[in-house]
């Protein structure tokens, strides 16, 4: 499929959607604490989205299988071994948990999308290292977002950082293009070889999202049809930014 290149004006519209994403993630991070439920985080995300006049991107998103109900949350709330697509629920989070909060919205016809993994109270040194390495892998990937580079350069940057630190890179789920739709071409894997894949061009906007495990990289989807977890039950972290490719370098839309 062809990739829609965005104009500078369209990228600035996307920037506004992504700044709302940044705001929501920031407010929800402040709420995270032992005893708080992911349903409470979801409720606050609903409030902010409505106040901003935006549309929630994930709510009622259709599943790949017709036998699975559309996604019921405004956020994906993925705790501990849940990699992505965790459904918000009424189970209180516990001291030592980690939670990936993923949020997307549509504002003025364009989508924004980002995610971050945060600690619930005090966490183990290994869990903190997982978070740090995953976030650094995202920064390494963003640095490759320059015209003339290739998707494989982004993918390899993530894989190199993650595997050098003894962690696993999830294969089943990938980043994506973003714009007038939540998910656009191209796919942006978190593993691969440098110099391979599509050439990056100015005007492309990519949602880059390393998903990293403390153990093996294999995943499975639970009976709810959405929640993807590590097969070995190890912790998983997930960070994401929406990034525009520009002649002057990477433009991270989802941070101030």
- Mind listing the pLDDT tens digit for each residue in 119-154? 999 999 999 999 999 999 999 999 999 999 999 999
**Confidence at 113, pLDDT banded by 50, 70, 90:** very high
- The string of pLDDT tens digits covering residues 40-70 is 999 999 999 999 999 999 999 999 999 999 9
pLDDT at 33: 98
**Long-range contacts: 50-57, Cβ < 8 Å, 24+?**
52/20, 52/105, 52/107, 53/107, 54/17, 54/20, 54/105, 54/106, 54/107, 55/105, 55/106, 55/107, 56/104, 56/105, 57/103, 57/104, 57/105, 57/106, 57/111, 57/112, 57/113, 57/182
- The string of pLDDT tens digits covering residues 74-103 is 999 999 999 999 999 999 999 999 999 999
Task: Express as a percent the part of the chain with pLDDT over 70.
Answer: 100
Contact 244, 204 (CB under 8 A): yes
| Mean pLDDT across 22-32 | 98
pLDDT at 70: 98
Contact 17, 105 (CB under 8 A): yes
pLDDT at 125: 98
Integer Rg of the chain from CA: 17
| Mean pLDDT across 19-39 | 98
**Confidence at 2, pLDDT banded by 50, 70, 90:** confident
- Domains located in the chain, CATH noted: 8-250 (3.90.230.10)
* Average pLDDT in the chain: 98
d(CA 231, CA 98): 17
Angle CA(25)–CA(157)–CA(235) in degrees, nearest 5? 50
pLDDT at 50: 98
Query: Closest Cα to residue 254, out of 7, 6, 22, 3?
Result: 22
pLDDT at 21: 98
Sheet holding 219-221, edge to edge: 82-84, 228-230, 219-221
- The string of pLDDT tens digits covering residues 206-233 is 999 999 999 999 999 999 999 999 999 9
């Amino acid at each position: 499929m062809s990739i829609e290149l965005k104009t500078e004006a369209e990228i600035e519209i996307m920037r506004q959607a992504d700044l709302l994403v940044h705001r929501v993630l920031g407010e929800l991070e402040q709420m995270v604490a032992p005893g708080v439920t992911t349903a409470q985080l979801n409720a606050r995300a609903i409030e902010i989205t409505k106040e901003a006049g935006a549309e929630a991107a994930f709510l009622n998103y259709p599943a790949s299988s017709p036998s699975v109900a559309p996604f019921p949350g405004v956020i994906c709330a993925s705790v501990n071994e849940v990699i992505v697509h965790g459904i918000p629920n009424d189970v209180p989070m516990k001291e030592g948990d980690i939670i990936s909060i993923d949020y997307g919205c549509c504002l003025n016809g364009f989508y924004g999308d980002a995610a971050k993994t945060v600690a619930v109270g005090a966490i183990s040194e290994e869990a903190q290292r997982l978070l740090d390495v995953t976030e650094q892998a995202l920064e390494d990937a963003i640095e490759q977002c320059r015209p003339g580079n290739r998707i494989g350069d982004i993918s390899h940057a993530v894989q190199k950082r993650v595997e050098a630190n003894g962690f696993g890179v999830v294969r089943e789920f990938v980043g994506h293009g973003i714009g007038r739709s939540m998910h656009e071409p191209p796919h942006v894997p978190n593993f691969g070889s440098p110099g391979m894949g599509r050439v990056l061009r100015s005007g492309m906007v990519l949602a880059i999202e390393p998903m990293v495990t403390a153990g093996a990289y294999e995943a499975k989807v639970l009976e709810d049809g959405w929640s993807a977890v590590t097969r070995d039950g190890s912790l998983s972290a997930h960070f994401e930014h929406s990034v525009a490719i520009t002649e002057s370098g990477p433009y991270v839309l989802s941070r101030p």
